[in-house]
Chains A and B, each alone.
Chain A
Amino acid sequence: GENVEQHPSTLSVQEGDSAVIKCTYSDSASNYFPWYKQELGKGPQLIIDIRSNVGEKKDQRIAVTLNKTAKHFSLHITETQPEDSAVYFCAASGNNQGGKLIFGQGTELSVKP
């Protein structure tokens, strides 16, 4: 079955710097890759997603890139702000998995003012 690995597990940056979180997946048939942000005591919130027919997607300060050949995808946050501090999860899904999401282990991002 699908396996998703996420790195790093913790990331600390200065306010205004960029942050990059990387995920790799094992099943080449996966075709949907969402990213979630989870603040303390809350449920995960979908922040951006990408499907396998595109290589990059941007939404203001966040972007996701996908390399299907290498089977990895990344979340990029530019001009980080203290409110970006949270745990971020990547996930992968595909028709061969019945559309079910397989999550990475999470990255705790800390943005220092």
Chain B
Amino acid sequence: DAGITQSPRHKVTETGTPVTLRCHQTENHRYMYWYRQDPGHGLRLIHYSYGVKDTDKGEVSDGYSVSRSKTEDFLLTLESATSSQTSVYFCAISVGTSLSYEQYFGPGTRLTVT
């Protein structure tokens, strides 16, 4: 898993509650990503980061925010969870000096919003 851990690995929460997922890497890579995976959609990019406090939106960013205060941690927050955010969330890091390098994924967090 390229030194990537995600926590929690499973979470059930109620509609309207805030949720924060954590991604931690041990190798000081600059680029980090959050994806969601849903049946029939492959993986879709939510947000990404290219350094501490430097983040940008992906293709499905509505309803999500991110923060990166340390190189090793990238947090994904659902401010007010909705049932449509039930999904498996994957964090990834990019090895190299630009975005166009190999990405390696963490083990995932399964989130259920009831």
Q: A44-B90, A89-B42, A106-B42 are in contact. Are A101 and B103 (CB under 8 A)?
A: yes
Task: From A32, A46, A89, A99, give the contact of B43 (CB < 8 A).
Answer: A89
Complex Cα–Cα for A43 and B58 (A): 19
Contact B103 A34 (CB under 8 A): yes
* A59-88 contact mask (Cβ, 8 Å, vs B): 1 or 0: 000000000000000000000000000000
Query: By DSSP majority rule, is chain B's interface helix, strand, loop, or mixed?
Result: loop
Task: From A31, A32, A44, A49, give the contact of B105 (CB < 8 A).
Answer: A44
A93 lies within 8 A of chain B by Cβ = yes
Which A residues contact B (CB, under 8 angstroms)?
1, 4, 6, 31-32, 34, 36, 42-46, 49, 89, 93-95, 98-106
- Closest chain B residue to A104, Cβ basis: B42
A sample of 8 inter-chain contacts (CB < 8 A) reads A34-B102, A34-B103, A42-B108, A44-B90, A94-B100, A100-B45, A104-B42, A105-B40
User: How far does the Cβ of B1 sit from chain A's closest Cβ, in whole Å?
Assistant: 7
* B81-114 contact mask (Cβ, 8 Å, vs A): 1 or 0: 0000000001000100011111111111000000
Contact A98 B99 (CB under 8 A): yes
Complex Cα–Cα for A51 and B108 (A): 27
List the B side residues contacting A31 at CB < 8 Å.
Answer: 100
Which B residues contact A (CB, under 8 angstroms)?
1, 40-45, 48, 56, 58-59, 90, 94, 98-108
User: How far does the Cβ of B21 sit from chain A's closest Cβ, in whole Å?
Assistant: 14
List the B side residues contacting A93 at CB < 8 Å.
Answer: 99-100
Complex Cα–Cα for A106 and B101 (A): 21
Interface centre among A36, A89, A99, A103 (most CB of B within 10 A): A99
List the B side residues contacting A6 at CB < 8 Å.
Answer: 42
Contact B45 A101 (CB under 8 A): yes
Q: A89-B43, A100-B58 are in contact. Are A45 and B105 (CB under 8 A)?
A: yes
Complex Cα–Cα for A101 and B42 (A): 11
- Closest chain A residue to B99, Cβ basis: A99
